[in-house]
Amino acid sequence: MKALQQIPRNALVWIIISMFTLVLPHIERIPPWVLAVYCVAALWRIMVYRGRWSFPRWPVKLGLIFAGFAGILLSFSTLVGLEPTVALLLTAFALKLLESAERKDAYVLLFLGYFVILTEFLFSQDLFIVLLSLLNVVIVTTGLVALHRPGDNRFRMRPMKQATLMVAQAAPLMLVLFFLFPRIGPLWTVPIKSQQAKTGMSEFMSPGDVSRLSRSGEVAFRVEFNGDIPARSQLYWRGLVMSRLQQGTWSALSFYEAPASERRQTEPERTGEPLRYSVILEPTQQRWLYALRYARSTDSGIMSSSDFRLFRPIVIEDDYLYQVRSWPEAAIETNLSAWRRKTELSLPATDNPRARALAAQFVEESSTPAEVVERVLRHFNAQPFVYTLQPPLLPERDAMDAFLFDTRRGFCEHYASSFVIMMRAAGIPARVVAGYQGGEVNPINRTVIVHQFDAHAWAEVWLEGEGWVRVDPTAAVAPERIELGLEEALAEEGSFLADSPLSPLRYRNIDIINTLRLRYDALTYRWQAWVVGFDQDRQFSLLQDFFGEFTARKFAAVLLGSWALVLIPVGLGLLLRRRTHELSTLDKHYLAFCRKLGKMGIERDFGETPQEFASRAQQALPRLAASIGDITKRYNTLAYAPPGANETELRDFIRTVRTIH
């Protein structure tokens, strides 16, 4: 009874291995002391096993548990949320190891391990993470198998073979379940990833924000067009529309800041053929979505705002797939409401006097608003403005004056911001639009990869009869930014991804690295489109495509049928499986002896007895006649002796075989 309940040594080794492979994907989000606890716990447990130390007594255990809680509270300043939960789980894993003496403790440990794997997916659904997690599933299962092989007292790979086999057999059944299991909405609200940094554009934009973002080579989103990909210069991915300027910072108006009558979007006339595309957005921890103008989406859970953006009421915490149709030629909001006009014209009363004066001068010199726009753009183009990722710091007050008249070095947000200020000063409704511009076309799967460094800010001005018109002042300064992308625009400066020397994007000129990067990206896209983005809608349409009207009866038939298809062969294979016939040491060496003679030209025939073979060989090789006779005699004796009886004679036999040359 006792022996049954103990943890075999092999299982202990596997548990300790799993402990470290489980922590691997979490390493960036747990405090370093958890790792230290891990190492100490593993060392302690090994020392207990070797009989040097003893298991911690209960006051020590209690102390450790309290210390663990206190440590997590100190590190995260809360116990609620995903990261503290993960740290807690991992600490619990380490501490549980310290008191694992019996099989039942090991069960708790290993099941905890499965949970740790699950928590990893809540942070990342990256393909690489998934492969690592799959390996972790196999390792934890190996621990479970090793636990049930009593008497395995040294490290063995054998349980891993069994675990791998079982996971491999389970995988096809899992796929069936994955695609058939009905998806329902969340049952209750769950803790959000409190610590997760918001990525991408922020709700506020002050000079320097977009240029900071443009230092990152991370992917913001990927787009797949149904049909041709529009020209790069047309890819203005609108994310935020910033209508309010406060203390030099632009911000978007929230849904509820608009009066009720202004919340509804005025439906523009849809002219021309729409662009159809789907976007997979990397988690942003924000609510807005990116799309080309004028965008509509029929996906459930996507809303449109009165400034013609798409957004989601729920924060985007995971990769998010959505379908969009855009009419780039549609004129939006040709009739401007009084409130809207007032909002889009408002400007802090006394800021940036020189910019206002310049705007007033332009108004005087032109007859129409369109001409004013033209003049400002010409001003940017004619004056020595520089497009740079490293703009000089601007003063707090009248920052745009300092930019327009003194430094004249800036990134897109400087140009957009100063442009809109001048427009408003000139009495033309205008606003800043933040989002991404351009994107890299992946030739492998024809997706457009939009990186963080494609972040961009531009402007929209309202012109009578035309509605909101996009104006990109950056294009007036650095047209190559729009035509070719940031890297080309900054070629002289050499500041492109200067902070990430290891980013594969920096080595795009090396063919093989670039091909590998694009292949991996295509794979990631496929993965995200099929697995990560799989939801109720897609499940429904997939099942409809395959089975037509999907009834409960068909559901049961498909589930059971496909399972039977896998389980019956597996079951038959298991029940009819024979242990692979392993040669005994004796036979192995006898066959080696036969091979040696074979090389000398004497092959043993099929079905020839050792004795017959020996006499034939003796005649052919008189030089070896004595040893051939000796070996054959020894072989015959040993072959019929009870196994394990004649260890020394077996060794002698092997030695004699080795002497044959």
DSSP string of 442-502, one letter each residue: ETTTTEEEEEGGGEEEEEEEEETTTEEEEE-HHHHH-HHHHHT-HHHHTTTTT-TTTT-TT
Distance CA 120, CA 22 (A): 9
The binding track of 534-563 with respect to other proteins, each residue x by CB under 8 A or -, is xx---------------------------x
CB of 223 to other proteins, least distance (A): 21
* Shortest distance in whole angstroms from residue 219 CB to other proteins: 18
CA pair distance 447, 349, nearest whole angstrom: 46
Q: Residue 374 — φ and ψ, nearest 5°?
A: -55, -45
Q: Does residue number 4 form part of the binding site for other proteins (CB under 8 A)?
A: yes
Task: Give yes or no for residue 169 binding other proteins (CB under 8 A).
Answer: yes
Query: Which residues are part of the catalytic machinery?
Result: 412, 456, 472
Q: Is 67 or 566 the residue whose CB approaches other proteins more closely?
A: 566
Q: State the binding string over 180-209 for other proteins (x if CB under 8 A, else -).
A: -x--xxxxxxx-------------------
Burial label for 230, CB within 10 Å (0-12, 13-18, 19+), is middle
Asked if 125 interacts with other proteins (CB under 8 A), we say yes
Instruction: Return the range that interacts with other proteins (CB under 8 A); candidates 175-183, 265-273, 336-344, 499-507.
Output: 175-183
Specify the residue for token string 């408002």.
Answer: 346
CA atoms within 13 A on the CB side of 5: 7
Structure tokens at 589: 């060496």
Residue closer to other proteins by CB (options 110, 461) is 110
Among 56, 150, 208, 217, binds other proteins (CB under 8 A): 150
128 part of the interface to other proteins, by CB under 8 A = no
- Rule CB under 8 A: say whether 494 interacts with other proteins: no
Dist CA 527 CA 532 (whole Å): 7
Tell the smallest beta-carbon distance from residue 241 to other proteins (Å).
Answer: 28
* Cα–Cα dist 579/575, whole Å: 11
Q: What's 276-332 look like in SS3?
A: EEEEEECCCCCCEECECCCEECCCCCCEECCCCCEECCCCCCCCEEEEEEECCCCCC
301/622 with CB nearer other proteins? 301
Whole-number minimum distance, CB 17 to other proteins, in Å? Answer: 18
Nearest distance in Å: CB 58, other proteins: 24
DSSP string, 552-605: HHHHHHHHHHHHHHHHHHHHHHHHT-----PPPHHHHHHHHHHHHHHHTT-PPP
135 binds other proteins (CB under 8 A): no
Is residue 80 near other proteins by the rule CB under 8 A?
A: no
Candidates 71-79, 108-116, 328-336, 446-454 — which segment interacts with other proteins by CB under 8 A? Answer: 108-116
**No. of helices (H) and no. of strands (E), the chain:** 24, 17
CB of 113 to other proteins, least distance (A): 11
Query: Which among 129-137, 266-274, 373-381, 491-499 is the span making contact with other proteins, rule CB under 8 A?
Result: 129-137
Closest residue by Cα to residue 374 from 477, 479, 476: 476
Let me know if 297 is exposed, middle or buried by CB neighbors in 10 A (0-12, 13-18, 19+). Answer: buried
Measured on CA atoms in the order 611, 615, 621, 622, is the torsion positive or negative? positive
Measured CA to CA, the distance from residue 487 to residue 190 in angstroms comes to 41
Does 147 help bind other proteins (rule: CB under 8 A)? yes
Site for other proteins in 564-593 (CB under 8 A): 567, 570-571, 574-579, 581
Three-class secondary structure assignment of 615-636? HHHHHHCHHHHHHHHHHHHHHH
Q: Does 149 bind other proteins (CB under 8 A)?
A: yes
Shorter beta-carbon distance to other proteins: residue 209 or 319: 319
* Helical (H) or strand (E) element with 101: none
Q: Which residues are CB-contacts of 97 (< 8 A; sequence separation ≥ 6)?
A: 15, 16, 19, 41, 42, 45, 109
- Nearest distance from C-beta of residue 517 to other proteins, angstroms: 23
Rounded Cα–Cα distance for residues 424 and 265 (Å): 23
Q: Is 167 in the site for other proteins (CB under 8 A)?
A: yes
- Using rule CB under 8 A, residue 174 touches other proteins: yes
Residues in contact with other proteins, total (CB under 8 A)? Answer: 62
**Binding region for other proteins (CB under 8 A) out of 100-108, 358-366, 394-402, 404-412:** 100-108
What minimum distance in Å lies between the beta carbon of 484 and other proteins? 37
CB closer to other proteins, 170 vs 591: 170
* C-beta of 133 vs 214, nearer to other proteins: 133
Using CB under 8 A as the binding rule, whether residue 115 contacts other proteins is answered as yes
Q: Which is nearer to other proteins, 121 or 204 (CB)?
A: 121
Q: Does 157 bind other proteins (CB under 8 A)?
A: no
Angle at 584 between CA 579 and CA 585, to 5 degrees: 145
* Contact of 389 with 493, CB cutoff 8 Å: yes
**Cα dihedral across residues 100, 104, 106, 112: positive or negative:** negative
Give the shortest CB-128-to-other proteins separation in angstroms: 13
List contacts with other proteins (CB under 8 A). Answer: 1, 3-4, 103-104, 107, 111, 114-115, 117-118, 121-122, 125, 130, 133, 137, 141, 144-145, 147-151, 159, 162-163, 166-167, 169-171, 173-174, 177-178, 181, 184-190, 318, 531-535, 563, 567, 570-571, 574-579, 581
